[in-house]
Structure 1
Amino acid sequence: MSLPQYWRTPLCLAPRPLHPWLTERGSLTAMLMAHFPEISVKVLFQGWQKAHLDEADCLGKAQIACREVLLKSQHTPLVYAHSITSAAALRKGFHLFGRTGSRPLGALLFADPTICRSHLSWCCIDQRHPLWQKAQAAVGTLPQKLWARRSVFYAGSDKLLVTEVFLPALFT
């Protein structure tokens, strides 16, 4: 998978309290549950849309299946997550993607031993990035810059791109 250069930001540039969150290779939801009470998933969008410019290399520019959620502790948003896959992958390797509902996507991904994960990439996004804009629309006022991480899950040749944007309440 090819990512734009800015998705290869050195980890040392991220705030130190975010390092464990950015580098966790296991389930982010499980890590959140270990640190915060009452983690819940609020589905913001599930449907078809065009891939963002920095996602196009992974899945192409065609219509993609998209799921956008907030991971919250009680009523406090902690992570905005944006996951995409192709129509073909919905029929094969990621057929459960469309039926996840308010369950964490990680519960499906990490329960299946045939699904592999790519390396993690991270970057700082600002108000020019569509995911920063979507996170702000979901939670209200945000700092000018947010840190995010991205990885691809593979089920055979099928791909699922997951991007997680870390919101201020997570590390303040």
Structure 2
Amino acid sequence: MTAAPAFQWLGADQLHPAPPAVLADWLFDSGSLTRRLTALSAGRFAVTPLAEGWQVLRDDECTALDVVPGSTGWVREVYLLGAERPWVFARSVAAREALAGFSGVLAELGRRPLGELLFSDPAFARGPLQATHYPPDWLPAGIRCPGLWGRRSRFHRETLSVLVAEVFLPELWRYQGIDPDTL
């Protein structure tokens, strides 16, 4: 397991200085990111799966899911593409013990966005959003760079919790005419 760099997940009221308004709008928008990216890309949205399977969860994930450090869980990593470019790196995790009885809920998503499932099923409730500069070592090799902002939130359904982290990539900002270095 990769050692955790010094970073913290923080709520909007804990970020000092506050991020620029355009960034805060993306970090703390409680709506469906899938829907927002689909609208921004005029329907040219896609999911590219990178990895999916059982792994030992990172310590910060175990803490967020209220499970013992070193717990095993289901991990899914994908790129969310807009206009055929990677706009977001997403990592979703759920502890193995929490998936008992729910294995079909997350199984074989393939190229379907997890957000589609989470926001279409009213049984899922979303917890608070948190943000951080995502550790570059935790990103896929092709996009490792410091300073990228990410957000995460925990979705609950009965005894199932799914932790979803989303890292906003420079291509998203460029598509909107925003210099990513100003964020």
| TM-score bracket for this pair, using the shorter chain length | 0.7 to 0.9
Matched residues, number = 162
Q: What aligned pairs does 1:45-56 form with structure 2 within 5 A after superposition?
A: 45-56=51-62
**Given that residues 45 and 84 in structure 2 are in contact (C-alpha distance below 8 angstroms), is that contact kept between their aligned partners in structure 1?**
no
Give RMSD over aligned pairs.
2.1
**SS in structure 1 of the partner of residue 107 of structure 2:** helix
Deviating beyond 6 angstroms after TM superposition, the runs of 4 or more aligned structure 1 residues are none
In the TM superposition, residue 13 of structure 1 has moved relative to its aligned partner by 3.4
Percent of aligned positions that are identical: 35
Higher CA-based Rg: 2
TM-score normalized with structure 1 length: 0.84
AA of the residue aligned to 2:47 = V
TM-score (norm 2): 0.80
Give the counterpart letter for 1:159 in structure 2: S
Alpha-carbon distance in 2 for matches of 1:160, 1:7 = 16
Give the aligned partner of residue 144 of structure 1: 146
Correspondence 1:39 to 2:45: yes
- Letter aligned with residue 153 of structure 1: F
Q: 1:153 to 1:94 in 2, by over 3 A?
A: farther
Q: Provide structure 1 residue ranges, at least 5 long, that are not aligned to the other structure.
A: none
The residue correspondences of 1:14-163 to structure 2 (distance < 5 A) are 14-37=19-42, 38-57=44-63, 58=65, 59-60=67-68, 61-93=70-102, 95-127=104-136, 129-130=137-138, 133-134=139-140, 137=141, 140-163=142-165
Which of 168, 172, 176 is the aligned partner of 1:166? 168
